[in-house]
Every structure is written in C-alpha cells, then in structure tokens.
Chains A and B, each alone.
Chain A
Amino acid sequence: MLLFIASEVMLFGSFFTAYFFVRVVNGYSWPPPGFELPKYVAGINTAILVTSSFTVHWALQSIRRGNRRGMQAGLVLTFLMGLTFLLTQMIEYARVGFAPHDNAFTTIFFCLTGLHGAHVFVGLTILAFATTRAFRGHFSAEHHYGVEIPGIYWHFVDVMWIVVYATVYLL
C-alpha cells in the first residue's frame, strides 16, 4: 500500500506542478481579481477530515485489542465524516460561482480539489467494504489487514488534503 501511495503522491505531484507553473512561473494572481475562495467552509471541512483520521486510527487500535464495538464505531464515524467532507465539497463546488473553464486559476482549483475528491470517493468505497465486513464479524486481534490497509490509505487522503488546502486556499 505504501508503494501505491508513493505512486499516488506522484500523481498529485503532477497536478501540483501544473499549479506551480500557473501560479509561480506565470505569476498569475491568486485568486485573480473577482474570484474568491471559500476558505472558512473548507477550513471546517479540513477539521472534519483530520478528525476522521483519528477515528480510523481508533478503529484499528480497537481491533488490535480485540474491541469489536470500538472498531465498528470508529469505522462508521470515519465513513460518515468522510461522506460529510465530500458532500460539503460538492455543495461548495455548486456555490463557488465560477467554473473550471473560466481561467487557469479555476482550472487548477477544480482539478486539484477534484483529484483529491476522487481519492476521497475511493477511500469511502474501501471504508465501506471494511465497515461492512466489520459488521459481518470479520477481523480479529490477529487478522486485521482489512482495517489497517484502508486506514493507511485514509491517512494519505487526509495528509494530501492538508497540503491541497494549504496551497490552494491559504497561500
């Protein structure tokens, strides 16, 4: 999974490279005049996602100690928080007032956050499998790769969001 994540980090890297060229090399103002970024809503979203990393970690720790209820609760919470993040993101997309085809700034904004959103979607799918199996009685204190691997992926999604949020919204 770690090698796969290395590969995915590089994919984000290519998108960040495009961002670099638009913002730094071309000197495009960020955001350009007339365009605004919903920093605060995104900030709350960030908090939600970061918290969800803690809940998935709690789920893994629980099953390591044999605590099934804790694992199930952790996974469900993580899934719900991730879903909230994604839905909030989609609502913001509808309300932000500009489209990807407007200019290079909007292009990078939608594509970088969109790439991340796609990864959140994949993460939610994997979490859904893990949660379903958790409720079906799979996993134990000895065998819990099925919780650990999605957890690693989810941490990657979370860390990536912090980087995306910082570069796109804050800097």
Chain B
Amino acid sequence: MTEVTHATGHHEAEHAAPPQGWHRWTAGGWLRALWMAPLFAGIGLGIVLFFRWLGHWHPLFEWNTIVVVAFLTALPLGFLAGIGAFDYWVRYALGAPTQPEDHSGHGARSWKDYFRVNTDHKVIGIQYLSTVFVFFIVGGLLAMLVRGELARPGLQYTDAQGFNGLFTLHATLMIFLFIIPAFAGIANYVVPLMLGAPDMAFPRLNALSFWLLPIAGLILVGSFFAPGGPPAAGWTGYASLSTHQPMGTLFFNMAVQWAGASSIMTALNFLVTIITMRAPGMTFWRMPLLVWANFTTSLLVVIATPFIAGSQFFVMFDRILHTHFFDPHHGGNVIAYQHIFWFYSHPAVYIMILPGFGIISEVISVFARKPIFGYRLMALSLLAILVLGFSVWAHHMFVSGMASYLRVPMMITTLLIAVPTGVKVFNWLATLWEGRIHLQTPMLWALGFISTFVIGGLSGVYLGAVPIDIHMSDTYFIVAHIHYVLFGGAFFTIMAGIYFWFPKMTGRMYNETLGKWHFWLTFVAFNLTFFPMHLIGTQGMPRRVADYAPKFADWNFFISVCSFALGASVIIFFYNIIHSWRYGPLAGDNPWRSLTLEWQVTSPPPVFNFDEIPQVVGNPYEYGVPGARHALLNGARTHELEEVGH
C-alpha cells in the first residue's frame, strides 16, 4: 500500500538569519546593488577608455559607446550581481559546494520577499504583474499625452521630435514592458500549478529573468533624459532613420535586448517545465489549453526573439561603430532591417495573443460550465498559428519596396492564418452554446474580447489583401487594427486572467460590482476611441503625425475625449485590486468550481504548491459529466486506488 508522503527536504522553518552589521552590504540585496552597480559602471567606463586609448581613437570620451557599455550594459549587470541574481551560479562556478535543498530564496512571508531575488514561481508571477502595471501606467500616460496633442489641429504642447518620442515610447513600453511580460507573469503563476508541479524547472533562472525586466523598463523611461530626447523612430525603429537619430535610440536598442533576454529565458523555462514536469497521467492531450498556449508561445519566443536582438545590434553597430549594415552608400541594404525586424515582430504579435487565447479558453469553459468545444483542434490550431506565423512577416512590408514577387505568397500565408484563428473563435462560440453562462467579470472580459478581437482580426483580413493594404498602410486604419487586436485582444484577456486568478493569488475575492463597472466603461470607451480610427484612416490620415488636415479635426477631438475616459477606467481597476487584496472577503479554494489543478489547492497555494504529487486521470474540462475528475490528490488517490482494489 502506498503511503501518502509529504515532500521531503522542505525546510520551511529553516531560514538563514538576516545578515548583521557590515555584512548587510555584502549579502545579496539592494544594499549590495547600491555599490555594485556603480562599480560595474566604472569598470565599463574603464574598459571603453582603455580600448579607445589603446587604439588611438578620438575623442577618448566617446559618449555613445560609454553610455552603451557602462550605463546600459555594465551598470545593470552590476545591479543584478548586487541583488544576488547570479549568486548561486557564481558559487557553482567557483567550485564551492552546492546546496540543492537550499530553499532560503523561496516563498513569501512578508512584503519584503517580493522585492528581492525570489525563486518561487508564484512570487515571481506577482512580481511580474506588479512591475508590468507600473509600466502600463507610464505607457498609458504617454498615450494620453499623444491624444492630448492630437485633440486639435496644430501643435499644442509638444514639438515634432518630442511627439515622435511620445508615441515611440508608448508603443515600446506597452509591447515589451506590458503585454509580453504580463502574459509571462500570469503563466509563471498558473502553469506550474496547472501541471501539478512544485515550481518551474529552473527557479533561479526564473528569478533572473524577472529582474531583467525592470532594467529594460528603467532604461526606456531613463531615455527621456538622454541628450536629444527619447527614441523617436517609432517602436519599429526603421533604418536608416534610427541609425541617424540622437542617443535616445541606443536606449531603445539596449532595452529591447534586456527585455528579449528576459523573454527567452522565461520561454526556455516554460518549455522544459511543460515537457518534463507534468504530473503523472498528464499526457499532452490532457493539458489545459493555457499550458498549450504557453508551450507554443515559448517556442515562438525562443526561435524568433534573437532576430530582433540581431536587428537592434545592427542599428547600434551602425550608429556607434559606423558599420554599414544599412548604409546603401557602402553596400548595405536598408530594407534588410525590415526583414530582420519583422521576422521577429510578426511572431511577436502571436506571442502577444496566444497566451490570451489560452486564458479565454479557461475562462469560457469554467463560466459556461462546459468542456471546450473541439479541444484537440484548439490545441492544433495553436500549433498551426505557430508554424504559419513564421511565414507572414513581409505583410508588414507590402509597400516597402521589397522584391515584389514576395507579395503574393505573403498575402496567401497571411490570409491563411485567419483560418486557425477563426476556428478558435467558432469553437469558443460553440462552447457557449447550451452552456450555463455566468456573467461574472472574467466572463464579461472574455465575451468582450470575442467581439473586439473579431473586429481586429477582420481588419487584419483587409490588410492582408495587398491592394487594400497599399491604400491603408501607415494610416490610422493600422492604428485601429493594432489597438483592436492588442487592446481589445490581448489586454482584455489579461484582464480576464487577472480577475479570474485574483482569488487564487491573493486568497480574497475582488469586488464584483466594481469589476463590472470597470469592464463596461472600458468596453464602451475603447470602442468609441478606436473604431473611428478605421474611418479617418481610410479617409487618408497618416499615422505618427503630430498634426493633420483640418477635415480630421472633429473625429480627432472625439477620439481624444473618449481616450481620456478609457484612461480613467483603469482607476477603477487599480482601486478594486488594491482594496480587495487587503480587505476583500476570503475567497476559498475554488470559488469558480473549476476542475483544473490550481483550484484544487488552497488560495493562495502552499509554498511548494502540492502536498503530494497529483495523479491526473482525465481531461481538464469534464464539466457536465457527474463524478468526472481531472486529477486525484490530497489523499484521494490512495483512497480511490484502495476502492479499485490495488
């Protein structure tokens, strides 16, 4: 007879005493980072000066190189070393005896544990989510400034270069510092729980990959102080504009590297965790769709992200080393940048939506009390989007002057990718059919998502048609499309996910009335803000302009006013989350009566998630089948095995 055993070696009571006296300055943490960061920056500065002296290059203090090496590379490395992100590996490298059961960096007992290098995936998930919302606010305020400037014709309070910087940073922050890491945060929290695993495969790597993110964000926000202003070549940073911009562009180049590195590390972690750490009995066809979605997203990240790293390296080299990647006068090719950039950035948009698809599948299934319709095809459609997603990048370049024979094949693959996406929408609708629909806040976001994402997807069909794209390219139609798929798409799914898992993460329930107000205000303001952009776009208003022809004035004013309402709606969200986190009613283990594994443990879960390894016996969406179980745990396994007579 098998015994229920508790996982061994979890020294929860054992916690190293906090360092005293001057040891506080040498133990991993913020105090050590305070001196290590400037030290590393100084070393970086020294390296630059040494090599420039050695090579007799003038001037000695070449600020572009110094900023990149000392402040954008060495200083962050010093910060990371200081807070202790590398400690374990350094000890390993130096040959010191390793302590495999050292869990002193794991778990959270007080708010301070959220501000240090922590190996607990649940803590890291919350660290991610808190950080990304800070940058969401900054990016959102930049958007408000953009809309404020555009509310009337003429230049109101920015100059042209400043305006270019505003929308560049808005997009860069929202894409790299909000959407992509928000999904990473939600997945970090939920996926190991859904798999029945005690944590991710590489918890220390997980911790490191989180800490790269605030570095990227601070670099971008810090770019406001660069001489010449923030990066102003658009988040797409096309050469050869970006290779001739002031220093702010370097901040963009480096921030993308840090964010990209974070993304790749997280993706590697997810892939290994999903492949090797599923609970016994959890075949690939018994994984929840959120896990499938993160699996495919992680594959996309690992394969595609190095290309944007490469593209930004080339821009940096062209600027600092005066190389000629994109210099047509010396044999370089300007359009090459776009190919390299979009080869990542198109899969990036799938990175920004596939996890959202996973979240929606979870939410709809639970709130319609029905299995996901067509589970296998849903998983396969994710894989189809993964594969096809690598074949469509040049649809961003239909009017770029690239080889014209590329246009029709890219159009075909682009239109084809609408098919698996459409399959997913129809499957969700079929899941709703004859369900028992409960319209709580997460479900409202999911249903709102379907209506807005379909609009965004259909506007994408317009843009996939080359002749239409020729007219609409770089107009406000594109801005409308982007925001319908990223805001009405990805953001709505992030909201659905946060409201859905809020009780699990905090142990408390959010305020449902406020949640509904938040949803409806956002939904209405969002549509009023962005739908008219389709119209002014087709009428010929270009994007990325600080001023426009007078005939667009009325619509721009209307859009700006609605955008302020949209901006205000997030206040309700923050109030709800913060207030409920402290004072909300206790939520219990499984307020949504879901079958997946994360809901079978306490809210919040124990430090190592499960007291015993769960045994998965069925698929995760067996609603409507009396007695169906996804997994057996908490002694139920032994009990049932006894009943069956083992």
Interface size on B, as a range, is: 35 or more
Chain B residues touching A, majority SS: helix
Cβ contact within 8 Å between A26 and B333: yes
B348 shortest CB reach to chain A, Å = 14
Binds A, one of B189-197, B315-323, B420-428: B315-323
When A18-B340, A25-B333, A100-B323 are in contact, do A107 and B306 touch as well, CB less than 8 Å?
A: no
B120 shortest CB reach to chain A, Å = 23
A100 to B318, CA, bound (A): 10
Cβ contact within 8 Å between A8 and B306: yes
Cβ contact within 8 Å between A11 and B268: no
A96 shortest CB reach to chain B, Å = 15
> Of A14, A25, A107, which is within 8 A of B307 by CB?
A14
- A contact residues around B339 at 8 Å (CB): 17, 21
A104 at the interface (CB under 8 A from B): yes
A25 to B335, CA, bound (A): 10
Interface size on A, as a range, is: 20 to 34
Cβ contact within 8 Å between A107 and B323: yes
Interface set, chain B 318-361, CB cutoff 8 A to A: 321-325, 327, 330-333, 335-336, 339-340, 343
> Of A3, A14, A108, A138, which is within 8 A of B311 by CB?
A14
Q: Which of B92, B305, B309, B332 has the most CB of A within 10 A?
A: B332
- A contact residues around B83 at 8 Å (CB): none
- A contact residues around B336 at 8 Å (CB): 17-18, 21-22, 25
- B contact residues around A138 at 8 Å (CB): 95
> Of B268, B304, B323, B331, which is within 8 A of A28 by CB?
B331
B314 at the interface (CB under 8 A from A): yes
When A25-B333, A104-B324 are in contact, do A4 and B268 touch as well, CB less than 8 Å?
A: yes
- A contact residues around B264 at 8 Å (CB): 7
B1 at the interface (CB under 8 A from A): no
Chain A residues touching B, majority SS: helix
B7 at the interface (CB under 8 A from A): no
> Of A6, A7, A15, A101, which is within 8 A of B324 by CB?
A101
B34 at the interface (CB under 8 A from A): no
Binds B, one of A40-48, A66-74, A128-136, A156-164: A128-136
A154 at the interface (CB under 8 A from B): no
Cβ contact within 8 Å between A11 and B323: no
A77 shortest CB reach to chain B, Å = 20
Residue of A nearest to B334 (CB): A21
- A contact residues around B340 at 8 Å (CB): 14, 17-18
Residue of A nearest to B98 (CB): A138
A103 to B272, CA, bound (A): 43
When A7-B264, A8-B306, A17-B343 are in contact, do A105 and B331 touch as well, CB less than 8 Å?
A: yes
- A contact residues around B335 at 8 Å (CB): 21
A134 to B306, CA, bound (A): 33
A87 at the interface (CB under 8 A from B): no
A12 to B278, CA, bound (A): 32
Cβ contact within 8 Å between A26 and B322: no
Cβ contact within 8 Å between A133 and B317: no
Interface set, chain A 9-60, CB cutoff 8 A to B: 10-11, 13-15, 17-18, 21-22, 25-26, 28, 32
Residue of A nearest to B92 (CB): A129
When A6-B303, A11-B309 are in contact, do A101 and B333 touch as well, CB less than 8 Å?
A: no
Q: Interface residues, chain A, CB within 8 Å of chain B?
A: 3-4, 6-8, 10-11, 13-15, 17-18, 21-22, 25-26, 28, 32, 100-108, 110-111, 129, 132-133, 136, 138
Q: What are 6 inter-chain pairs, A to B, with CB distance below 8 A?
A: A11-B309, A17-B340, A32-B331, A100-B321, A106-B323, A129-B93
Q: Which 5 A-B pairs have the closest CB atoms?
A: A14-B310, A104-B331, A21-B336, A11-B306, A101-B322
Starting from the known contacts A8-B306, A104-B324, 18 additional A-B residue pairs (CB-CB under 8 Å) come to A3-B272, A6-B303, A7-B303, A7-B306, A10-B303, A10-B305, A14-B307, A18-B325, A25-B333, A25-B336, A100-B323, A102-B330, A103-B330, A104-B327, A110-B323, A111-B323, A132-B94, A133-B95
